[in-house]
A = this chain, B = another copy of it.
Amino acid sequence: MSSPITELGSKPAEAPGTRCIILATAERLFREIGYRKTTVADIAKSLRMSSANVYRYFESKKAINEAVAERLMAEMEADLASIASRSSLPPAERFREFVRALNRHSTERFTTERRMHEMVEVAMTESWDVVHRHIARIDDMLCHLVADGARSGEFQVKDPMVAARCVHAALIRFCHPALIVQCAEEPGPDLDQMISFLLRGLGNSRTP
């Protein structure tokens, strides 16, 4: 009989894909029957394994939620990073594309799919660290984009990180899952009006 330490230590070599399969199954069940209704036993049953085996990879349902949320965010971040680094586009254009993609991903992933929204809401209340890291990565991408624009003279900013955080905070209405739902019916600027306003805030004098 192997000791618990050996078991833990040998996990990745033993079954490199199990963690990934558990996550994919959990995500499918969250989508199909909702986050709150899905139990660790449901996930195990779908995979014809014991709950104990699932717990070898994730210590709790919260840990599964966090990993699923991280994965969804990673997909979204990969797309955003590719836009932010598209040096063929001038920074102001890249900024427009970036913000539109941020809004599109947030709306599609977290609000159009109502059942996933439930998972996101739980993540936002219980797993603030995961959300926090995601926000920090978006801040970093925006900071690089703003710094690019400052170097090319398209933007006039003293501190790119402060500017990036102002932009991101100003966009909460367009990327915070609960606010997208809450503000949908409310009069307010549309996304393009907001982008133009933010570009002026970044000192982009050519913004119409």
- Which A positions have Cβ atoms within 8 angstroms of B? 124, 128, 132, 135-136, 139, 162-163, 165-170, 172-173, 176, 178-179, 182-183, 185-189, 193-194, 197-198, 200-203
Contacts and interface: CB of A to CB of B under 8 A. Distances in A.
A166 B192 CA distance: 10
B173 A169 contact: yes
**Taking the full assembly, how many copies of this chain does it contain?**
2
6 contacts: A162-B193, A166-B193, A167-B197, A168-B188, A170-B197, A172-B172
Q: For the complex, would chain A's binding face be called helix, strand, loop or mixed by DSSP majority?
A: helix
Given A169-B189, A187-B136, A187-B165, A200 B197 contact: no
A32 to B, nearest CB: 27
A189 B172 contact: no
Given A132-B186, A172-B179, 7 more contacts: A124-B182, A135-B186, A166-B193, A166-B197, A168-B188, A176-B179, A200-B203
